[in-house]
A and B are shown apart, each in its own frame.
Chain A
């Protein structure tokens, strides 16, 4: 009992927009810790100091458990599949038993560390910037965004509604319902059409979770004139609900899961937006910037002060590094550095240690070289997802193929040019690797990964000293 209370708890924040690879990262991390993965550069493991790691029973009764076994099962299916996108919040606690480096602590026997990890839909993360936004500012931004070329087509119905709805009209539940419905439809349609689009809308409109149909979600931005709105008007009602959304949905989410972190890893899928061209990258940069700016220190709001003071190590990771050849990893890291430039600067100012890495929590490909006209093309070999296409070839999701995805720009700033054509680059999504069957000892072989060990070393090893 006493030892349990003395055991320190490390809260690791796995932050990432949707499709950044949070779930697979957490699954691979737990798997590697629990069953002793291939982690040559995770020093506590390499030095053999980790005695064992095991999953603790769910510590928090109010939060669902992370479906670790389910995700592993999806990966071991035939053909293997990536885990489904996360629809609700869940968490898991891993306890690591290790022998300390210090003789004094070794004298007390085996040391223990709880590692708490939270998984949540990345869509909800885009709510965090709302905390610093008033209803008026949000309206202005959302309306302007709806007219942007990439979203125009989806938002036509909602924008027509905006033209008819008068913010100063008396409040009317039916109008609010209709507006919220149309707004939600627009967000979902835009998202379904374009996976790499990072909407700023409230995340619960995309994935309501348990809030389906709640009045907390019956609001939407209105085309406000500059001259304010009266009490009891439609706009006033919307603004009130916007504030309640912040108070009852966003703040608890932030308070419970982001304000008490010790370490943070920000997962960023750079390759997906790179496929789409400069606009998508700029979109990604803005979305990340908006999310990470909530974690500013000294801004005066109670939660951010609480937050940043305690995170002493922050790792930016470009995920899916197995989708390009390892000779391009440094360029991928360079692009990520440019995208997260401001956030990194802020974190470094507060004294946090910041790292940047290209990683793949689960490596789906091998490397190869192809010689074409005397030129060596660094390729990757794997099974592309069904329906993926490259250079006129469509994959069926069964046959293996070697893919040369093109060269990443040598100057990372070239990737952020607003209307840079996506030419010269095409990344194909791959199926997860086929997991080998368990050996005679009943243990499955470790999951292949790229630099997961370095990431773990950066994030955890000083707590395991």
Chain B
């Protein structure tokens, strides 16, 4: 900022001077697409090490194992398609009502498959966008760069805009936005004004899921039913949470998210165990002595809460700056209370 050239001597400009542009305390001109954040990522040589994988860690690298699997899967798919094509060809060749129905069904299959794939791709993009934003925010916080912060906030607002539930928080945020001048304050404000309401909603979602899972585990007649149910519920919860923060992935995206979440749980396992779950495990041991089923239900519910907390941390475009973090410990107590789903300010 400081070069003591002659250019930088004090002077005044007319407001109509073409050299002058009012920047935008409100928002900088959005010249930069997400590409710029990627370029920035490339330039930043010392990447800030973070143990916890978040949505920012979705990578598209070449892995030979997956190549092999993909190849085999491709071959199988090809064989199936060939067989299927021959079958359909025969059906279509029959120029009668069977042929026409086959044709209509084929069209239906094609269109729905296309839509599904498109949705999946869009979901992936949304997730990637969240990841890029998270990266951007991390760098802005790390470099204490107000301009980068404003850009990140612009992206965040674009992601959240158009949602009815965010209208009021966004309006509140925009009101205060101009007054913020210190580096880091803008993101901290966004964390409090924009993310905190979403955190509450996420907390509610996780609680409801944990409660359902606990219940189903406790009463299900066969273990595999419970397992299946736990898996499906968890994936649904992941999608709901990602959607809440502006991700909204398809089923495949949810699987990928699940992998990240599992990675996150493993990475933070040691801390979380002593922090969140130790007391829980001890308590469940007691519960198990009373009733094995009930203990299992409590255990599954607790794990779900843990998964939910990890998912929040993975999906959240901002790290927890000024908002209180969503923690499994805080939710567990509530999950097994009678009115677990009632709205409650866990501040």
Contacts and interface: CB of A to CB of B under 8 A. Distances in A.
A326 interface: yes
B12 A38 contact: no
Interface in A312-368: 326-329, 363, 366-368
Contacts of B4: 407, 424
Most buried by A among B4, B7, B180, B182: B182
Contact of A379 (B20, B25, B180, B185): B20
A402 B17 contact: yes
B282 interface: no
Interface residues of A, number: 46
B8 A391 contact: no
A391 B9 contact: yes
Given A402-B17, A404-B13, A369 B23 contact: yes
Contact of B13 (A38, A40, A379, A410): A379
Interface string B95-125: 0000000000000000000000000000000
B11 A329 contact: no
B20 A402 contact: yes
A373 interface: yes
A407 B180 contact: no
Given A402-B13, A406-B9, A46 B192 contact: yes
Interface stretch (A18-26, A52-60, A85-93, A444-452): A444-452
B1 A368 contact: no
Interface string A395-433: 100011111111100100000000000001110100000
Question: Mostly helix, strand, loop or mixed at chain B's interface?
Answer: loop
B176 interface: yes
Contact of B23 (A329, A368, A401, A403): A368
A410 B1 CA distance: 9
Contacts of A377: 7-8
A41 B189 contact: yes
A372 interface: yes
Given A40-B180, A41-B189, A450-B179, A391 B12 contact: yes
Most buried by A among B4, B12, B192: B12
Chain B's interface size range is 20 to 34
A424 B189 contact: no
A401 B14 contact: yes
Nearest to B185: A41
A157 interface: no
Contacts of B193: 40
B10 A367 contact: no
Interface string A198-242: 000000000000000000000000000000000000000000000
Nearest to B13: A402
A63 interface: no
Interface in A433-465: 448-451, 453-454
B69 interface: no
B26 to A, nearest CB: 10
B15 A381 contact: yes
Interface string B280-320: 00000000000000000000000000000000000000000
A367 B23 contact: yes
Contact of A407 (B8, B12, B14): B8
A140 interface: no
Contacts of A424: 4, 8-10
Contacts of A372: 7, 19
A327 B145 CA distance: 10
B175 interface: yes
Contacts of A451: 181-182
Closest 10 CB pairs of A and B: A426-B10, A40-B176, A402-B13, A406-B10, A326-B181, A368-B22, A391-B11, A370-B20, A370-B19, A390-B12
Interface of A: 38, 40-41, 46, 326-329, 363, 366-373, 375, 377, 379, 381, 384, 390-391, 393, 395, 399-407, 410, 424-426, 428, 448-451, 453-454
Interface of B: 1-5, 7-15, 17, 19-23, 25, 146, 175-176, 178-182, 185, 189, 192-193
11 contacts: A328-B1, A368-B21, A369-B22, A370-B17, A370-B19, A375-B3, A377-B8, A379-B13, A391-B10, A402-B12, A404-B13
